[in-house]
Chain A
Amino acid sequence: MKPARPTPPKSRIRLSFLLPLIGFLILAGFASVALISTLSGTRNTGQLPSVLIGKPVPATPVPLLDDVGQSLDLAGFAGQPVLVNFFASWCAPCRAEAPALALLAERVPVIGIAYKDKPADTSAFLDQYGNPFAAIGVDREGQLGFAWGVYGVPESYVIAADGTVLLRHAGPIDRRVLETKLLPALESAK
């Protein structure tokens, strides 16, 4: 005797099976792209894109640490790439990146912005951890930081020779950041 029940046509199985599968594959595709780029370091979830990229740096006047009567003039460094570093004596990661800044200072002028810090504390910090900066601006109230969109210290900006922002790195500069981000950016800024 032949089987009593009709065998189901294949097309129905395929549809009810395939649609969720396709949906799943699309989601899995998104997830794996995100995962792979996170693991390979091209996508850093901790880094927010800066609005300033490609734009000239905002001109908010701040006094110099050494001479309160004068204000920091970034335009004076035009014609060469510079690194602008927002730091503070109260910021622990800023201590960690001091050696990296010293290394960078051998290649380009590094300009420090003491963010929400007492000038006396800033000076003591520099005495202790070294002063790699070609000039230091005092951003006592964080106004300059606000203009730059700084959302935490340390933050470092690579400024191209024409005075536009090339790159922003939020967080301390470690070896990897130095080698894979900042040095290549400074190289391309020349």
Chain B
Amino acid sequence: MTIRPASDLFNRRVIRLALLLGLIMQVFALVGSASAITAEEMLDDPGLESRARALSKQLRCLVCQNQSIDDSDAELAQDLRREVRTQLVAGASDAEILASLQGKYGDYVLLRPPVSTGTYVLWFAPVGVVLGGILLVVAIRRNRRPDALSPSPDTAEEQSKGDVVGDARASGQTPMTSNILRGPVIIVAVFGFAASLGLYLMLGRADLADQPLAGRQAEIAAAKTAQDSRSEVLANALAEARQTVANAPDKVEGWLRLAMAAAAVGDNDSELDALRTALDLTAGDPSIKAMLAEALSRAADGQITIPARDLIDQVLAANPNEPRALYMAGLAAYQDENFADAVALWHRLYNQSRPDAPWMATLGQNIVDAAEKGGLPVPDVTASPDQGMLDMAAGMSDEERAEMIEGMVATLAARLAENTDDIKGWLRLARAYDVLGRPEDMVGAMIGAADAVPDNARQQTMALEVMITTNLGEQFLDDAPRLLARLEALAPDGLELLFFKGHFAKLSGDLEAARRNWQLLLERLPADSPLVANLRARIDQL
């Protein structure tokens, strides 16, 4: 009695599993095949072409790895399809072609894995699982039968000691009910196994060609239609633009429209031609130059090419704040791994752009990315103008606004007092103090920033620089030697170092040391440097 529910449960599971297996296999049976092959690849001879298709279905695309080369759009799949056709035309047999590709790429290129020691599990595990299942059923049945028909020694003992009538009822009823159910259950279970095995042999065998889901075909067709109608609109726009410039070849707007229409359909050559014409018509308008530089880079997969760089330089020479050129100059520096320049250029663009300009988010990310790659201090772009705060501040009176900012600054300062390593926090605080017109606090925050990253020479330099530019050097004579020592250890050859050393020696009254350092600096400066005269004057003042 106790056994029956358990084995029933087992049988039910087997049935459910068999049904599920059958269902899955049916799904795989209901598939057609989509092909990635293009018309120009096809061979003229239909016999060879059908062999080529059959072979393509047996070969795996090594890039996508779950598609045959017949299905895959990858370039490698294209190459392999071409290779198959070349060999077919040369008269190779199917087996020779498969073998030649296997010789290059290994067994993995074959979608039907060869039977070898490495693939025994793959080939024979399904059969083993079914056999194991049958064995399991047989074993359970065998185990149950003697127990169900005759009581075990334990029960016999108990029986002799206890209530005979009760035991007789128990041992008599149990086999009866389970015997009635057992037959159908076994039949269903065996049928389930047989059906699974049959379905597997018909549809799931490892040697069948793969069959991608046909359900996707409708989806793909719909996407294609949508794309086609879009490209039709774009093509019309392009044709219209062409007509416009043909009618009025001296109108710059027409050429610019043509360039845009050509860019939209990815026709780089027409875009470049149109922009060049527009450039000629305007006798070198900087904005159009910048557009041309951008188009050239797009044609080179985003690389800022040398001609594009020339154009960018020309644009920036004419208008140092042209946003497109600034952005691309930054990108060019970034691609050269000149991260300091990239950050500087992009930051300039960032500061001159309206806070709601569409490129701000990307630009901010780029700046942070470049600064991190170059190991530079990250300029404050992410935390800056929180739009909500700004909107709030806009509706306030001056006193209220000042109060709000003071409150934020106080919070930040308190937090930094506890967490002195937060370089970004220090820089933000310094900027806030700068805005609030509190230069001493600003210098203090910059020193905090320098202390937060004692290994960063640039940050030490910046802190020393603000001490001098704010004319507050005297107040920080306790801090300056610490920063100078670090800078000396990090960049002993820097020209700034000599200047700083001279300056702080002068402030602390050691005129001799000041003169020595500045004299040294003077010798190392190029003779035509604009700093020379200034430095001479300073030395003479000592």
Contacts and interface: CB of A to CB of B under 8 A. Distances in A.
Interface stretch (A76-84, A100-108, A143-151, A159-167): A143-151
A7 B154 contact: yes
Contacts of B151: 6
A186 B146 CA distance: 69
A4 B170 contact: yes
Contacts of B166: 1, 4
Interface in B137-175: 139-140, 143-144, 147, 151-152, 154-155, 158, 161-163, 166-167, 169-171
B3 A128 contact: no
Chief secondary structure at chain A's binding surface: loop
Contacts, number: 88
Contact of A146 (B102, B104, B301): B104
Given A48-B106, A51-B105, A8 B76 contact: no
B154 A149 contact: no
Nearest to B104: A149
Contacts of B355: none
Nearest to B335: A128
> Range of interface residues on chain A?
20 to 34
B79 A2 contact: no
Contacts of B154: 6-7, 9
A6 B163 contact: no
Contacts of B105: 48, 51, 149, 151
A60 to B, nearest CB: 11
Contacts of B162: 1-2
B143 A12 contact: yes
Contact of B104 (A3, A6, A9, A147): A147
A3 B157 CA distance: 12
Contacts of A3: 158
A69 interface: no
A49 interface: yes
Given A48-B106, A50-B106, A5 B143 contact: no
Nearest to A141: B79
B104 A48 contact: no
Contact of A49 (B106, B167, B169, B305): B106
B62 A128 contact: no
B95 interface: no
B388 interface: no
Nearest to A9: B152
Contacts of B336: 128
Interface string B468-482: 000000000000000
Nearest to B147: A9
Interface string A111-128: 000000000000010001
A41 interface: no
A188 interface: no
A142 B79 contact: yes
Interface string A33-53: 000000000000000111100
B152 A6 contact: yes
A50 B155 CA distance: 66
Nearest to B7: A16
Contacts of B106: 48-51, 149
B63 A151 contact: yes
A180 interface: no
A57 to B, nearest CB: 13
Contacts of A151: 62-63, 76, 105
A14 B105 CA distance: 48
Interface string B294-332: 000000010101100000000000000000000000000
Interface of B: 1-3, 6-7, 10, 62-63, 76, 79, 83, 102-106, 108, 132, 136, 139-140, 143-144, 147, 151-152, 154-155, 158, 161-163, 166-167, 169-171, 301, 303, 305-306, 335-336
Interface of A: 1-9, 11-12, 15-16, 19-20, 23, 48-51, 90, 124, 128, 142, 146-149, 151-152
6 contacts: A4-B167, A5-B2, A8-B2, A12-B144, A48-B62, A146-B104
